[in-house]
Amino acid sequence: MKMKLAEIAKAIDAQNEIEQWKEIEVTSVSFDSRHLEQGALFIPLQGAHDGHQYVETAFANGAAASLWASDHSLTDHHHPLLVVDDPLKALQQLGKYYLRKINPIVVAVTGSNGKTTTKDMIASILSTQLNVTKTYANFNNEIGVPVTLLNMESNTEVVVVEMGMDRFGQLDFLSKLVSPDIAVITMIGEAHIEFFGTRDRIADAKMEITNGLKEDGVLVYNGDEPLLNDRVKDLPQQTVRFGRQLTDDLYATSVNDGSRSIEFTVNEWPDEEFTIPMVGEYNVNNALAAMAVGKRLHISPAHMKAALANVELTENRAEWFKSKSGAQVLSDVYNSNPTAAKQVLKTISEIPTNGKRIAVLGDMLELGDAAPRLHASLASQINPQKIQAVYLVGPEMVHLRDQLIQDQYPAAAIHYYQTDQLEQLSTDLNATLTADDMVLLKASHGIHLEKVLAAIKEQ
């Protein structure tokens, strides 16, 4: 991003005169006054605290200018301020303006599971032949998406935008903000079922990503999901299905799930074997979604193969570490929901090890009234012959504990902790683990199992 303040003021309909500041150049945007780059435009958002309290700090830390809400008294006439009705809406307006100015191909990605991994894979594939910008970390909401757009370099040819949702209308807004050329739905699970009630309603909400899809755009979606197949029938745009069925447009013809990577073949390129440096057969679908986007944008199979083999994944997504004792630790602590947790439990159950397999599971949030049933349902993937100990964290994990006991899982191998007992959990793990063991850490981010990871991993 590189824009003069005069251009920004015009794009967002700033209400005040900025003649003396019009030549100031802005090179980035930030809503965090503590961590911004020299030359940034500061966005004072209203959250737990009013961002206007930090405008002075933002300037002290190098901000070139700041937005200012018109309902706040303007007492600072010494710094470059752009007065607008609503700083968040102005941020979104500026993001849309800049997107139209740069005019890249837009790939929008959503889904109950796998959207961040799929975003990373798409960006890796497309970056082999195109200049690509992708969503940083999980900047995937009404704030994060325009920030992603405004962080594009002027030579960006494709922007890959991750889109999250926790209510109806959110994807509708984000899709219309970016007007995607390609929309991707990875799958429908139970994530956020607290807000939607049923998977049918989650599918309805996910389909909102097509509301801003260009007339000549394409929807890439999981063809093995009946809820999506039912909903795309009346979609005027082209659709491409990926999955594991012969009826899909792009499907895996063989899968070899190893202890550190997965090899697979695809119907479209039968002579090529692709590798992803991840565990879990479910990640093949994420790769297929990314490959469908690559094919649409004419990326060669050879480039796809190299990109997938070397994909750089967003932090805390299924990363391997060593513990202080030498045990293998699979950390997947950024987020969790029943579908994802069952998938990774199944995966770790099948990876060879000479020692014990240990599952450390924290609460899965935003499941509402279904939380007791869905937590208990994880027991179906915890076989005492394959997973020899479980460490459970959080009030909802009581339901899994009770189900495991009911299923005759050895009571001595079940360990339960409250969310304020992470230090004790870490101490217990460090005292137990041996070099031959394998540990899974999986929970919603709000449980903060990353603290346990930091305490047990090799420094």
90 belongs to a structural domain: no
Same domain, 61 and 116: no
| Closest among 188, 113, 109 to 144, alpha carbons compared | 109
For the cut 80, the answer to whether the pLDDT of residue 459 exceeds it is no
Q: Which of 7-11, 303-307, 336-340 has the lowest mean pLDDT?
A: 336-340
**With a threshold of 0.75, does the pTM exceed it?**
yes
For the cut 70, the answer to whether the pLDDT of residue 105 exceeds it is yes
140 belongs to a structural domain: yes
pLDDT given for residue 346 in this prediction: 92
For the cut 70, the answer to whether the pLDDT of residue 292 exceeds it is yes
Report the b/e string of 24-36 with b at 16+ CB within 10 A: bebebbbbebeeb
Same domain, 118 and 78: no
Distance CA 326, CA 4 (A): 54
| Closest among 189, 204, 122, 125 to 162, alpha carbons compared | 122
- Looking at the DSSP assignment, which residues form a beta bridge with residue 219? 183, 239
How large is the average pLDDT for residues 253-281? 93
Burial of 167 (0-12, 13-18, 19+ CB in 10 A): exposed
Same domain, 293 and 229: yes
Same domain, 68 and 108: no
Task: Using a pLDDT cut of 70, give the percent of the chain over it.
Answer: 99
Confidence of residue 316 (pLDDT cuts 50, 70, 90): low
Distance CA 255, CA 253 (A): 7
| Coil vs helix vs strand at 253 | strand
233 belongs to a structural domain: yes
For the cut 90, the answer to whether the pLDDT of residue 337 exceeds it is no
Domain that holds residue 233: 104-309
Same domain, 254 and 112: yes
333 belongs to a structural domain: yes
- Cβ pair 126, 158 in contact under 8 A: yes
Helix axes 301-309, 283-296, angle to 10 degrees: 140
For the cut 90, the answer to whether the pLDDT of residue 108 exceeds it is yes
For the cut 80, the answer to whether the pLDDT of residue 192 exceeds it is no
Domain limit, last residue, from 56, 85, 114: 85
Confidence of residue 432 (pLDDT cuts 50, 70, 90): very high
32 belongs to a structural domain: yes
153 belongs to a structural domain: yes
Q: Which CATH number characterizes residue 272's domain?
A: 3.40.1190.10
Average model confidence (pLDDT) across the chain:
94
For the cut 90, the answer to whether the pLDDT of residue 33 exceeds it is yes
How large is the average pLDDT for residues 137-144? 92
Same domain, 142 and 191: yes
Confidence of residue 195 (pLDDT cuts 50, 70, 90): confident
**DSSP one-letter code for 357:** E
- Looking at the DSSP assignment, which residues form a beta bridge with residue 96? none
If phi > 0 it is left, if psi is from -120 to 50 it is alpha, else beta; for residue 109 that is beta
pLDDT given for residue 368 in this prediction: 86
The number of domains in the chain is 3
31 belongs to a structural domain: yes
Q: Which CATH number characterizes residue 425's domain?
A: 3.90.190.20
